[in-house]
Structure 1
Amino acid sequence: MTPTPSFAAYVGAHWAAVVIYVIATVVNVYGLLFRSEPAERWSYRLISVGWMIHSVVIAYWWWVTGHGPYLSRNEVLSSDAWIALTVFMCFQRLYPRVRPASIVVFPSVFLMIALGLFFDVQIRTLPPTFSGIWLVIHIAFYKIALGTILIALACSIFLVLKKRTPFAWLQRLPDLESLDLHAYRFAGFGFIIWAIAMLAGSIWAYKSWGRFWGWDPVENWSLITWILFGIHLHLRRFFRWSGERAALFYVVCFIFSLVALFYTSHMDTSIHMEYFR
């Protein structure tokens, strides 16, 4: 029996998560700028509350729709935000020195959710081609890659700011060498995850459309982005690029990744657009 959805509850709970995320972001920024460790701790408690509400909302909608959060624009942006935050929360426990990246990750999370809520909330029928483990791997790994490259972006931005500006709060951040190393490592991890997502997508495309690669705009931009990340890593590894030069080039790569992830699937010339109509 198909459950009766409560659109008001779904939207209201999402907005509740957004409000909590916003408050957590403000407290977090205050803690970082004014060196208040209690404020930082409270920001993580608040973000955890928002994450739990957000998790319940996604699980509820998954149960109502009968498919994962990857069909409508609202579902995609909400799940992107959830996975990006989950990835960051896991890494900040393993590597506490990346915690200042929250000043980039937290706003990105609530902005993605809020943007998604401006699209119509509706239940979409899952197309026959949207099935199989390769689709799940394809979508999940792109979302994980987004969370990873967000951390690398934060480290890159911090490196440039710390080198160019005299703000006192920047002195709380790790030294330039550590920021550079973390940016390099998270960019490399994102590069690998992105490659797995593309490979899984190719296998899914073969099972769904009978071809591994069709030069669709989504495929093209994803490949271009991956190549750019590869060039970035190649320049760092073999041509000893580091510091500000490498950080600025990474920002360019990240901009391309945003186009690949959020824009190309909505182009009229893309076959992926059919799933969002």
Structure 2
Amino acid sequence: MELLLWEVTLHWASVVLYVTAGVIFSIVTVFGKDRLYLWAVRISFAGLVPHSAAILIRWIASGHGPYMLRYEVLSSNAWVFIVMFLAFAAKVRKIRFAGMIVLPYAFLTMTYGLFSNPEIKRLPPSLQSIWLVLHVSFYKLAVGAILISVAAAIFYLVKERRGESGVLIRLPGLDALDHYSHRFATFGFTFWSIGIISGSIWAHQSWGRYWGWDPIETWSFITWLFYGFYLHMRFFFRWTDKKAAWLVIGCFLLSFTTAFVIPFVARSVHSSYFT
């Protein structure tokens, strides 16, 4: 009980720091307060310290990674989203605008998880596989990349509609936003593909089948097809501008539905990971 209290306390400490960082990222983007950018990054990293400690405490106590229940799944999702954003923003400073989307999404995801059941469960034999680890890890990476992609798409539509007026002049140009949206959607599609493949191998290893048309499997495949359609239209028909941006947003909504809606409305082998 005392260990669980420490874990929850560390999680809430990181939420407070992420909220603070998200507000500062918004101020940097909207008001052009560049001198605050490093503070936003530092506070984000500060949030990762208690967050990482909380995940590690749970990992040691449960004997498995954070992929069993909604509480730990959403916490680790948020951790991956923030680490991915900070890593890419360090390499490509122009994508720091995505912090306005990534940080709020991450701390809302994490907060939702914190109101879930925090009990610790042991991993059943069917889940003790490296393929499960790869399956879960690459889906987390996929959603992290998709978040940055959809952030660029949203800002593209806003800037395309309103032009270079006001605070929008501080955002990257339309071509750059379109480029980042496409680039990170490609990353997301690649990670999603590996997630499907590794999940199929894990399913065959555990249940003797590669594919069972489980609702989550089906919707994951539909999401993959839509992202494939987006990339196909980009490559062969040179879709850019608003059509591409709206398609990216549609694909994100599909991925969100797959992860957070279907487990609650359909019976699935995956549903236990979101309870």
SS in 1 for 2:7: helix
| 8 Å Cα contact 1:156/1:250 also seen in 2 | yes
Q: Which runs of 5+ in 1 are unaligned?
A: none
2:47 pairs, out of 45, 50, 58, with 50
2:58 pairs, out of 44, 61, 73, with 61
Query: What pairs up with 1:21-170 in 2 under 5 angstroms?
Result: 21-166=18-163, 167-170=165-168
Of 234-243 and 261-270, deviating more is 261-270
> Shift of the alpha carbon at 1:273?
2.3
SS in 1 for 2:126: coil
Q: % of aligned pairs identical?
A: 43
Q: TM-score normalized by structure 1?
A: 0.95
Mapped partners of 1:195, 1:156: distance in 2: 22
2:10 pairs, out of 10, 13, 19, with 13
| 8 Å Cα contact 1:62/1:69 also seen in 2 | yes
Of 135-144 and 259-268, deviating more is 259-268
> Shift of the alpha carbon at 1:275?
5.0
2:214 pairs, out of 216, 228, 244, with 216
Q: Tell me the matched-pair count.
A: 274
Of 23-32 and 67-76, deviating more is 23-32
> Shift of the alpha carbon at 1:125?
2.0
> Shift of the alpha carbon at 1:180?
0.6
Distance verdict in 2 for CA 1:157–1:274, change over 3 Å: closer
Q: Deviations over 1:57-83 (max 9, x none)?
A: 111110111111011110000000001
Mapped partners of 2:256, 2:31: distance in 1: 31
SS in 1 for 2:53: helix
Q: Deviations over 1:120-164 (max 9, x none)?
A: 110112111111111110000000001001010011011101111
| 8 Å Cα contact 2:67/2:273 also seen in 1 | no
Distance verdict in 2 for CA 1:20–1:65, change over 3 Å: same
Alignment RMSD, CA only? 1.4
Corresponding residue number in structure 2 for 1:174: 172
| 8 Å Cα contact 2:29/2:171 also seen in 1 | no
Mapped partners of 1:59, 1:38: distance in 2: 33
Mapped partners of 1:11, 1:252: distance in 2: 34
> Shift of the alpha carbon at 1:269?
1.9
| 8 Å Cα contact 1:65/1:123 also seen in 2 | yes
- 4+ residue stretches of structure 1 with deviation over 4 A? 274-277
